Amino acid sequence: MFKRIIILTTMLLAMLFMLVNCTTNEDGNILVTAGKAELTEGEISYLLPEGFRDELSREVFRFIDEWAKEEILAEAALDMGLQKRPDIQYQLEEARRMILASAYEREVIASRVAIDSSEVYNYYLDNIEEFIRSKDEVRCAHFMVSDSFEAAIVDSLLDTLSFEEVAIQFSHDSKNIDIGYFAKDEMHPKLAASAFRLQEEERAGPIETEYGYHYIQLIDFAPKGTPKDFADVEDILRDIIAERKFRTAYGIVIDSLKGEKAIIIDSSAVLGKVKNEN
């Protein structure tokens, strides 16, 4: 399912000219024209990747520029009559089939997948041996400043304020000061050298690297052989269970559809085709 979504994203660009040409002005003001095609407010909201919607305006314009280039290329292909070529017709039909199949998977099959928290926790308990640490790990709070001037300010503030209070003021992402658990080889060598020497709630910094001046505080030390906390693996487990349930629901739906829509395979013809090509 997930690989198909990635493929569909790429194929959707190839079919964009068909979608736009079939859309009316009901989606709002026309914001962009490219050749004979028009792009409205509603279409931009639909086509723009979700992660871009809150980005700076230059990212939005970059996306629109890519759309416009794809559109005029597609229009030029139509002018040449490339859509009449058998191989292009096959690719368009393949994209149509995959888009519709994926839509059905989302609307019908995925909607049947329900997971409750107790189910995820029970899976964790039943498979806890899979989550045993193979290395010592530290869990740290972390923030970074860009230069020695800011580092000097941080040092003075840490004399009177808590690590968290200072981190909130200087961190670029104050919601993610807790960076979770890391093994020594998963950290920058300079940070690891300090982090693995700290006692709980002890802090270190400034630690200078090529990225800036770092400050860390040890939240927890988890030795090799201990299980990872449920909270640290919950999202992974939820994905595993969802994937399994989806596959089960997928099989049930396919079996049901096979009863409604006949699938007939001429095995001898298929084998003959393969034999001739070899």
Write out pLDDT tens, residues 88-122: 999 999 999 999 999 999 999 998 899 999 999 99
Q: Is residue 20 one of the residues assigned to a domain?
A: yes
Number of structural domains, the chain?
2
Beta-bridge partner residues of 182: 138
Q: Treating both helix axes as pointing N-terminal to C-terminal, what angle do 230-260 and 117-126 enclose, rounded to 10 degrees? A: 110
Average pLDDT of the chain, as a whole number: 82
Residues with Cβ within 8 Å of residue 136, at least 6 apart in sequence: 183, 184, 196, 221, 222, 223, 224
Cβ-count burial of 265 within 10 angstroms (0-12 exposed, 13-18 middle, 19+ buried)?
exposed
Beta-bridge partner residues of 33: 38
* Dihedral class, residue 214 (left if φ above 0, else alpha if ψ from -120 to 50, else beta): beta
Lowest model confidence (mean pLDDT) among 1-15, 49-63, 206-220: 1-15
pTM above 0.75, yes or no: no
> Residue 201 sits in a domain of what CATH number?
3.10.50.40
Task: Give the domain-ending residue among 49, 84, 119.
Answer: 84
DSSP 275: H
- Percentage of residues in the chain having pLDDT higher than 70: 79
- Rounded CA gap, 50 and 33, in Å? 22
Q: Is residue 268 one of the residues assigned to a domain?
A: no
Q: Is residue 139 one of the residues assigned to a domain?
A: yes
Residues with Cβ within 8 Å of residue 140, at least 6 apart in sequence: 178, 179, 182, 195, 216, 217, 218, 219
Q: Is residue 62 one of the residues assigned to a domain?
A: yes
Task: Give the domain-ending residue among 180, 196, 222.
Answer: 222
Q: What is the pLDDT of residue 173?
A: 67
Q: Is residue 115 one of the residues assigned to a domain?
A: no
Are 79 and 10 found together in one domain? Answer: yes
Are 70 and 143 found together in one domain? Answer: no
Q: Treating both helix axes as pointing N-terminal to C-terminal, what angle do 148-157 and 163-170 enclose, rounded to 10 degrees? A: 150
Q: Is residue 122 one of the residues assigned to a domain?
A: no
Report DSSP letters for 216-248, one per residue. EEEEEEE-TTSBPPHHHHHHHHHHHHHHHHHHH
Q: What is the pLDDT of residue 46?
A: 66
Are 139 and 217 found together in one domain? Answer: yes
Containing structural domain, residue 182: 133-222
- Rounded CA gap, 58 and 225, in Å? 48
Buried b (16+ CB within 10 A) or exposed e, 143-177: bbbeeeeebeebeeebeeeebeebbeebbeeeeeb
Report DSSP letters for 31-56, one per residue. EEEETTEEEEHHHHHHHS-GGGTTS-
**For residues 80-90, average pLDDT:** 93
Beta-bridge partner residues of 191: none
Q: Is residue 162 one of the residues assigned to a domain?
A: yes
Q: Is residue 104 one of the residues assigned to a domain?
A: no
Nearest to 197 by CA among 128, 249, 136, 246: 136
